[in-house]
């Protein structure tokens, strides 16, 4: 075969890789109108709202710009008065006068016809959890497909749970929406009212039960139709089905979705690799990868331009180093085994009809958690009457195998609490232990406390959080500490995906500044008093213990600087309060309130832990010397200010 080495290559007509990701600009795209209204300009329709707590009284709301249904309802002053005891996730929005259907709180107002009637009510337990709703602009009605899911399931659902809260079964349908191009599975996942485990399912048309729609199909042609959810017959059948689908390559290619990769990428913004795999026979994979290879130098140059001099390589090496540390520490079996054992002391904290969070056994029957879980529920040093608190342990296995047990409070006293440090200590009643299985007769013991393994707050390195994010099953998240000098860069990196949307960036910036993010940055008043990191453990995981790579507990996971739409359920950075500082305040509080018996119990518990012994001794001696000098009780807050300790 003759060599082509010296032949000049033919000039090929190639497309720029940007063409695969091109999105029409406003000037390119035709702005549609609905009911004669240009949604880029004027938007006006009227909705009637009735609160379930107000009898027959109705309120009219003139909606003058596109937003979610809940945002429309909240624009009336009566919402706060009537529904103040319910969080957004506990709200039920009933569409129409008959008990026909309900919509999610993030349902687009553009899909509600003018003059429609809504009835608002609340449930004590969570009804929905919104997902992937961050800064998605509300579009015109034609952009959505709206369909109905029957609250009575179809085949093989009789013994299965389909919804987060069975209260939705009081209605005939769940009204679901999805942008055209979304799959059925994605639409139900984003809806938030269905269980997280709803994965492999099909829909049967109520008007034609023999017509089956798979969950991977798009929602485009489902508009105004009514469906029942059907599940696989059993786990084995589901497994066999997956094996069949991953059989011979020629069969797989015939059955795969042949949507062009360009359309897939434009619709969902997924990765090129995922788009290529989804594209099947209808995509020239070699062409795409060849274009990517040719344009890689330009891409690299663009990335390097964001970093002066050699800071790009330094940043890259640092990320690799941090990731390597996490891998090395938390992939070692003995560390994971130790963390899992310590994690048995972590519990889900339920403040009934108020909120859910996380806590852990401090020692004996005492639980440490965040004080903000009880906001508005405390008078003095006691919980208000009517506030019920439960502590759920072993809440780990998915349904239907879930097997947890829980305890009630021993009394309404709060032994230690501080808003600044955001901690609270409560006592559970070990005799009140109950199981979610009525047949279980064996009494479970309260797991051992973690006070003995408290340690100082590290300035950097690895960390691991164990808790109940979103009030769900117990999870653990290995991460690494973001040093105070690098917090600004970490926030910038987190917001980099929004760099092309000035409006979004300004909105997020405004939100996190209002929350006081500058306090934790260099020079801020709490910059040296908290430890920061990046984690998915957010809502519901407040009060989780934060471990270092050696299994010591150094932090109480407290909060993050949040943003999101319609609810703030994502954050740019998260932080924990140092446990030695909390312990210092707790000891001084016990001493100041004359809890000598409990103080002695704490003294015995910390024996052998040099960090805790040092704190305990200094606080007790300081308290005694101050009482001798002034002959009056000392304020625990003053004690903290008299002798600051470097617990880092």
Over residues 547-557, the pLDDT tens digits come to 998 899 999 99
Contact indicator for 344, 446 with CB cutoff of 8 Å: no
Residue of higher predicted confidence among 21 and 624: 624
What pLDDT, in 10s, does the model give residues 574-590? 999 999 999 999 999 99
Distance CA 56, CA 61 (A): 16
Where would I find the beta strands (DSSP E) of 59-172?
A: 59-63, 91-95, 101-103, 117-122, 144-150
Using alpha carbons, list the distances in angstroms from residue 551 to 48, 333, 554.
Answer: 56, 13, 9
Handedness of CA 39, 132, 570, 426 (dihedral sign): positive
Question: What is the pLDDT confidence band of residue 407, given thresholds at 50, 70 and 90?
Answer: very high
Using alpha carbons, list the distances in angstroms from residue 387 to 355, 378, 430, 560.
Answer: 11, 9, 19, 26
pLDDT at 397: 83
Retrieve residue 137's tokens.
């602009």
Question: What is the pLDDT confidence band of residue 296, given thresholds at 50, 70 and 90?
Answer: low
Retrieve residue 595's tokens.
């809890």
Q: What percent of the chain has pLDDT over 90?
A: 42
Most confident of the following: 306-315, 450-459, 497-506: 450-459
Is a pLDDT exceeding 80 seen at residue 435? yes
Is a pLDDT exceeding 70 seen at residue 645? no
Distance CA 527, CA 510 (A): 20
Contact indicator for 572, 561 with CB cutoff of 8 Å: yes
pLDDT at 12: 45
Is a pLDDT exceeding 80 seen at residue 182? yes
pLDDT at 344: 95
Burial of 374 (0-12, 13-18, 19+ CB in 10 A): buried
Distance of CA 149 to the CA centre of its chain: 25
Cα distance from N-terminal residue to C-terminal residue, the chain: 72
What pLDDT, in 10s, does the model give residues 11-58? 444 444 333 333 333 333 333 333 333 333 457 888 999 887 556 788
Is a pLDDT exceeding 80 seen at residue 86? yes
Specify the pairing of strand 423-435 against strand 366-369: antiparallel
In this structure, what DSSP letter does residue 535 have? Answer: -
Distance CA 103, CA 173 (A): 9
In this structure, what DSSP letter does residue 418 have? Answer: E
Residue of higher predicted confidence among 83 and 327: 83
Question: What is the pLDDT confidence band of residue 643, given thresholds at 50, 70 and 90?
Answer: very low
Q: What is the mean pLDDT of residues 474-499?
A: 89
Distance CA 636, CA 589 (A): 5
pLDDT at 625: 57
Q: What is the mean pLDDT of residues 131-155?
A: 81
SS3 526: coil
For residue 629, count other CB atoms closer than 10 A to its CB: 9
Contact indicator for 198, 230 with CB cutoff of 8 Å: no
Q: What are phi and psi of 549, to 5 degrees?
A: -70, -15
CA-wise closest residue to 203 among 165, 155, 168, 247: 155
Segment 56-65 long-range contacts (CB within 8 Å, at least 24 positions apart):
58/117, 63/109
**How does DSSP assign 435-448, residue by residue?**
ESSTT--PPPPPPP
CB neighbours of 449 closer than 8 A, spacing ≥ 6? 345, 361, 362, 363, 364, 366, 605
pLDDT at 27: 34
Distance CA 571, CA 561 (A): 5
Specify the pairing of strand 91-95 against strand 117-122: antiparallel
In this structure, what DSSP letter does residue 454 have? Answer: B
Question: What is the pLDDT confidence band of residue 487, given thresholds at 50, 70 and 90?
Answer: very high
pLDDT at 297: 59
CB neighbours of 261 closer than 8 A, spacing ≥ 6? 20, 275, 276, 278, 279, 282, 283, 288
Most confident of the following: 28-37, 62-71, 175-184: 175-184
Contact indicator for 363, 451 with CB cutoff of 8 Å: yes
pTM attached to this predicted model: 0.51
pLDDT at 578: 96
Instruction: Identify the weakest region by mean pLDDT among 269-273, 362-366, 461-465.
Output: 269-273
Any idea what the Cα angle at residue 210 is, between residues 209 and 212, rounded to 5°? 90
pLDDT at 191: 92
Domains defined for the chain, CATH in brackets: 39-240 (3.10.20.90), 247-305 (no CATH), 339-579 (2.40.10.120)
Specify the pairing of strand 117-122 against strand 45-51: parallel
**How does DSSP assign 350-409, residue by residue?**
EETTTEEEEEEEEETTEEEE-GGGGTTSEETTEEPTT--EEEEE-TTSPTTS---EEEEE
Retrieve residue 440's tokens.
């279980």
CA-wise closest residue to 135 among 504, 561, 513: 504
For residue 150, count other CB atoms closer than 10 A to its CB: 17
Token pair 């309060």: residue: 577
């Amino acid at each position: 075969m003759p060599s082509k080495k010296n032949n000049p290559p033919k000039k090929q007509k190639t497309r720029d890789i940007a063409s695969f990701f091109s999105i029409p600009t406003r000037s390119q795209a035709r702005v549609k109108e609905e009911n004669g209204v240009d949604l880029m300009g004027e938007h006006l329709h009227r909705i009637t709202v009735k609160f379930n707590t107000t009898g027959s009284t109705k309120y009219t709301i003139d909606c003058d710009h596109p937003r979610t249904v809940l945002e429309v309802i909240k624009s009336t002053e009566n919402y706060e008065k009537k529904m103040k005891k319910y969080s957004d996730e506990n709200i039920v929005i009933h569409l129409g006068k008959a008990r026909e259907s309900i919509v999610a709180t993030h349902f687009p107002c553009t899909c509600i016809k003018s003059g429609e009637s809504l009835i608002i009510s609340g449930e004590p337990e969570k009804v929905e959890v919104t997902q992937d709703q961050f800064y998605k602009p509300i579009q015109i009605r034609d952009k959505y497909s709206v369909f109905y899911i029957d609250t009575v399931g179809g085949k093989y659902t009789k013994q299965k749970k389909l919804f987060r809260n069975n209260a939705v079964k009081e209605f005939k349908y769940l009204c679901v929406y999805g942008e055209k191009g979304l799959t059925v599975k994605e639409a139900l996942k984003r809806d938030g009212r269905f269980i997280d485990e709803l994965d492999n399912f099909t829909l049967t048309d109520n008007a034609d039960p023999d017509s089956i729609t798979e969950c991977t199909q798009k929602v485009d042609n489902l508009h105004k139709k009514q469906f029942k959810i059907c599940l696989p017959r059993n786990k084995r059948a589901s497994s066999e089905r997956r094996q069949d689908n991953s059989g011979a390559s020629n069969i797989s290619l015939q059955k795969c979705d042949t949507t062009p990769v360009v359309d897939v990428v434009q619709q969902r913004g997924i990765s090129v690799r995922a788009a290529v795999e989804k594209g099947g026979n209808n995509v020239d994979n070699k062409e795409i990868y060849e274009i990517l290879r040719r344009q890689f130098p330009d891409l690299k140059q663009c990335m390097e331009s964001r970093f002066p001099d050699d800071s790009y390589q330094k940043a890259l090496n640092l990320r690799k180093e941090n990731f390597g540390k996490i891998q090395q520490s938390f992939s070692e079996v003995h560390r994971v085994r130790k963390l899992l054992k310590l994690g048995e002391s972590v519990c889900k904290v339920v403040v009934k009809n108020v909120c859910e969070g996380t806590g852990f056994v401090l020692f004996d029957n005492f639980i440490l958690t965040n004080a903000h879980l009880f906001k508005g529920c405390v008078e003095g040093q006691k919980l208000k009457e009517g506030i019920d608190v439960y502590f759920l342990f072993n809440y780990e296995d998915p349904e239907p195998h879930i097997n947890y047990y829980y305890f009630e409070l021993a009394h309404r006293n709060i032994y230690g609490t501080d808003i600044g440090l955001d901690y609270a200590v409560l006592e559970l009643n070990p005799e009140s232990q109950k199981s979610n299985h009525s047949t279980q007769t064996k009494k479970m013991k309260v797991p051992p406390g973690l006070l003995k393994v408290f340690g100082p707050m590290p300035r950097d390195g690895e960390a691991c959080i164990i808790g109940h994010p979103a009030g769900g099953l117990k999870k653990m998240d290995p991460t690494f500490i973001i040093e105070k000098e690098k917090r600004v860069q970490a926030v910038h990196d987190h917001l980099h995906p929004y760099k092309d949307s000035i409006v979004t960036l300004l909105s997020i910036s405004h939100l996190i500044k209002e929350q006081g993010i500058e306090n934790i940055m260099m020079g801020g008043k709490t910059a040296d008093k908290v430890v920061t990191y990046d984690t998915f453990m957010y809502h519901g995981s407040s009060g989780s213990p934060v471990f270092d790579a050696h299994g010591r507990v150094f932090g109480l996971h407290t909060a993050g600087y949040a943003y999101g739409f319609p609810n703030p359920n994502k954050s740019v950075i998260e932080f924990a309060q140092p446990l030695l500082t909390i312990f210092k305040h707790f000891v001084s509080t016990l001493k100041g309130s004359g809890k000598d018996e409990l103080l002695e119990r704490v003294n015995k518990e910390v024996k052998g832990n040099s960090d805790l012994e040092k704190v305990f001794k200094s606080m007790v001696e300081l308290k005694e010397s101050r009482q001798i000098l002034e002959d009056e009780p000392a304020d625990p807050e003053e004690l903290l200010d008299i002798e600051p300790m470097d617990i880092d």
